[in-house]
Amino acid sequence: MAPVDPRRLARWCVEHLGSPPSDEIFRSGHLSTVVGLRLADDREVVVKIRPDSARIAGCVEVQRRLFQAGYPCPQPLTGAVPFGEDVATAEAYVPGGAVLPSAGRAAEAFAEAFARLVGLAPRPGEVFTLDPPPSWAAWRHTEDGPWPRPEGAEIDLNEVAGPEWTDDAGRRARDRLLRGGESEAVIGHCDWLAGNLRWSGDALLVVHDWDSMVVDDEAVLAGFAAALYSTVEPDRLATVEDTERFLIAYGHARGRELSADELERSWAAGVWTRAYDAKDQHAAGQPVTALSEQEARERLRRAGAG
């Protein structure tokens, strides 16, 4: 993202929030620019600016519906509004909270929060569109090879040599997902990382990153979440045992255990998204930390794709 012109941002705030910024609280972002602002009328808001996409309006609608249903997410203050050639949204600023829930109960806390989100979210047909999904969730892509093209990059991961085990894991996991299953399509969050949630003890304080709303089979979305959450350190993703605990807890939280077929697809989804991240790390010349070859083999075995 190019730097945001502060004068344009001020005009946007006046036009769509009714007050200019008086102070900047924080600024972050990679694929988008996220700016925390204190407005002249003392409200604290977060403005997010990113490349325009039809799916953003759908994401805001899901967030709005969940906020109205009492789910702990920031209140949307605008819809998806043009910002030059990009699009911007604003929401209430919700600070504070711990990055992880209490030690020893992370699997249950993350799984219960995810099950509640899926249960309260609108049905897929009630939202205009959430397509295309972010690349790390786009296992249904049409590229030649196991990998979709990453956002904000010209690189084709399918043309990057090695590591061979990441390509093999991605291909095997995707083949299992493409065989289909018995799980119904739902709306959920495809980036269930510790950095996107905040806790007060074991109680969920707030979920962030509502651009990560997607439509997919429930088992697939549960599998993404089970593979991506953290139990000990925010940057250390779930172990095989952590993922197993999450999937058991998710079944309890939704009131129905995952079937054998759903479990296989959940494990396959987790392998695919973690292998995608590993391939992307390799392509960027970074250490591969998202998945190991040994762990990929065990996760594939549980997916029925070993």
Indicate the residue type of 129.
T
Cβ atoms of 253 and 112 closer than 8 Å: yes
Q: Is residue 231 part of a domain?
A: yes
pTM of the model: 0.96
Q: Are residues 200 and 143 in the same domain?
A: yes
261: left (phi over 0), alpha (psi -120 to 50) or beta: alpha
Are 84 and 145 contained in the same domain? no
Instruction: Give pLDDT, residue 1.
Output: 60
Task: Report pLDDT for 104.
Answer: 79
Q: Compute the distance between CA of residue 216 and CA of residue 184 in angstroms, rounded to an integer.
A: 8
For 284, residues 6+ apart whose C-beta sits below 8 A from its C-beta are none
Residue 88 lies in a domain: yes
306 residues of the chain, pLDDT tens digit each: 668 899 999 999 999 999 999 999 999 977 799 999 999 999 999 999 999 999 999 999 999 999 999 999 999 999 999 999 999 999 999 999 999 998 778 999 999 999 999 999 999 999 989 999 999 999 999 999 999 999 877 899 999 999 999 999 999 999 999 998 888 999 999 999 999 999 999 999 999 999 999 999 999 999 999 999 999 898 899 999 999 999 999 999 999 999 999 999 999 999 999 999 999 999 999 999 999 999 999 999 999 997
Cβ atoms within 10 Å of 79's Cβ, excluding its own: 15
Q: Are 196 and 285 part of one and the same domain?
A: yes
Do 124 and 86 have their domain in common?
no
Q: What is the domain count for the chain?
A: 2
Distance between CA 268 and CA 272 in Å, rounded? Answer: 6
Query: 179 with 249, same domain?
Result: yes
Asked if 114 and 232 sit in the same domain, the reply is yes
Q: Is the dihedral of CA 177, 180, 207, 91 positive or negative?
A: positive
Contact 209, 191 (CB under 8 A): yes
pLDDT of residue 117: 98
| Domain end (from 36, 60, 92) | 92
For residue 217, tell me if it sits in a domain.
yes
Cα distances (Å, whole numbers) of residue 163 to 140, 158, 213, 228: 22, 11, 30, 21
Q: To 10 degrees, what angle do helices 218-228 and 260-283 make?
A: 50
* Maximal C-alpha separation, the chain: 58
What residue type is 41 in one-letter code?
Answer: D
**Are the C-beta atoms of residues 194 and 98 closer than 8 Å to each other?**
no
- Residue 100 domain-assigned? no
Do residues 169 and 218 both lie within one domain? Answer: yes
- 202 with 111, same domain: the answer is yes
Pairwise CA distance, residues 153 & 31, whole Å: 10
* Same domain assignment for residues 163 and 232: yes
Q: Which of 161, 148, 233, 154 is nearest to 190 (CA)?
A: 148
Domain shared by 124 and 83, yes or no: no
Sequence-ordered list of residues with C-beta below 8 angstroms from that of 293, at least 6 positions apart, any chain = 163, 165, 169
Whether residue 113 sits in one domain with residue 61? no
> How confident is the model at residue 93, as a pLDDT?
98
Residues 204 and 58 in one domain: no
Boundaries of domain holding 32: 6-92
Q: What are phi and psi of 50, to 5 degrees?
A: -155, 170
Residue 14 lies in a domain: yes
Alpha carbon distance 153, 273 (integer Å): 18
Query: Six-digit token pair at 167?
Result: 């390509």
Q: Looking at this protein, which amino acid is placed at residue 293?
A: E
CATH number, residue 129? 3.90.1200.10
